[in-house]
Amino acid sequence: MIIPPSSRRKSKYTLRSVPEAGDRVATSAMIASLDAEGRDTIAAPFGHALVDLAKTREDIVGLSADLSKYTDLHIFAEAHPDRFYQMGMAEALLMSAAAGLAREGFVPFATTYAVFAARRAYDFIAMAIAEENLPVKICCALPGLTTGYGPSHQATEDLAIMRGMPNLTVLDPCDAVEIDQATRAIADTPGPVYMRLLRGNVPNVLGEYGYKFELGRAQMIHEGSDVLIISSGFMTMRALDAAKALASDGVSCAILHSPTIKPLDADTICSEAAKGGRLVVTAENHSIIGGLGEAVAGALMRAQVHVPFRQIALPDEFLDAGALPTLHDQYGITVEQIAARIKSWLEA
C-alpha cells in the first residue's frame, strides 16, 4: 500500500530548508572524486539537480540501498526526508519498491553502485521495471574504472548487461554539466532509465562548449579532419585532452560525444563516420566487449559504412585493485596513452 505524501514515515534525516543557488551542500568527505586534471569541479550535481526538480515535482522520490552518501542522494534525503526511502543492503528490494512507487504515480530515482544494479538486481529490474515499462530511474555510481576496489566494485561490464534489456534507456554522461541536465531530462522521460553516475566533486568539461544534453543524440564537441573519436562518459574529457596533445603533432581530431548508449544515435554516428576517410576510434570507460565500441561497430556495419575502426576500452578481464591513476595508466585510458595509441594507428 502506498503511503500518502502527507503521512509518510519519518526519516532519520532532519528536515531543513532547500538550498538556494550558490548555497550548495557539500558531499561526503569519504567520497574520492575522479581526477579533474586541472578543471573546475561541481559538487554532487546529481543530488542538487534532484533537489531542484523536487521543488516543483511532488512525484519525485528517492531510494537507496544503504549508499545514499556514496551516490550523492543524501543531499536529496536531507532536503526532502519525507520523500526518501532507505532500503538497506537489499538491491532486489530497492528495485521492487521503486517499481511499486512507479505504479502509484511516482517517479522514483533509485541509486546504488553500478555493479549491484547490473549484476545483483538484474532480474528484478527486468521483471518488475523494464517489462512493465515503468518510469524508474536507476542512477548508479562507480561505473567502469572509477574505483580502485577491484572486481567486486568495478562495473566494467554494466553497459553490455543493460544494453540487452528491452525498454531500457542507457546513459553514460560525461561530467557535472551533463549529469545535471540528464537528471532533469530523464525525469520527464517515459519508461525506465539506467544512468551511470559520477559522484562527489565532478569535473566541469562541457560547460565551455555551451553543451546542451539531448536524450538519444550524439553531439560533435570538437571538429577535426584526421580522426573521429566517438566517446562517452569521462572518456570524452580524456578524448578532448588527447585531441589537444595530438594537435601539437599536426593530428586533427574530431570528438563526437555519445552519452546515450541505447538508443544509440546511429544516424549521426554513421553520417560523421562516412565523412572524409577519417580513422574512427571509440573511447569508453567499459569493457571492450558489449559497450559503446561494439554498438558503434554494429551500427556502421548495418549502414554499410566501411572505415578504419579501432577501440579504446578496458580489457575483457577482471581488473586489479589499486590507485586510480596507476590503474588508468595500466589499462590504457590516460590522456597520454590515448594520444600515443591513436598516433601509432595513424602511422601504421
Catalytic residues: 91
Contact residues for 74 (Cβ-Cβ < 8 A; gap 6+): 13, 27, 28, 47, 68
**Cβ proximity of 255 and 282 under 8 Å:** no
Instruction: Say if residues 135 and 148 touch (Cβ distance below 8 Å).
Output: no
Concatenated DSSP letters for 16-70? Answer: -PPPPTT-PPPPPTTPPPPP-TT--EEE-HHHHHHHHHHTT-TTEEEEESS-GGG
Grid coordinates belonging to 25: 551542500
The three-class DSSP label of residue 12 is coil
**What does the alpha-carbon distance between residue 312 and residue 329 come to, in Å, rounded to a whole number?**
13
Residues 194 and 201: their CA atoms lie apart, in Å, by 21
Distances (CA, A) of 251 to 60, 117, 126, 254, 334: 47, 40, 45, 10, 18
Q: Are 98 and 146 in contact (CB under 8 A)?
A: no
Cβ(320)–Cβ(313) under 8 Å? no
What H or E segment, with its residue span, contains residue 340?
Answer: helix 335-347
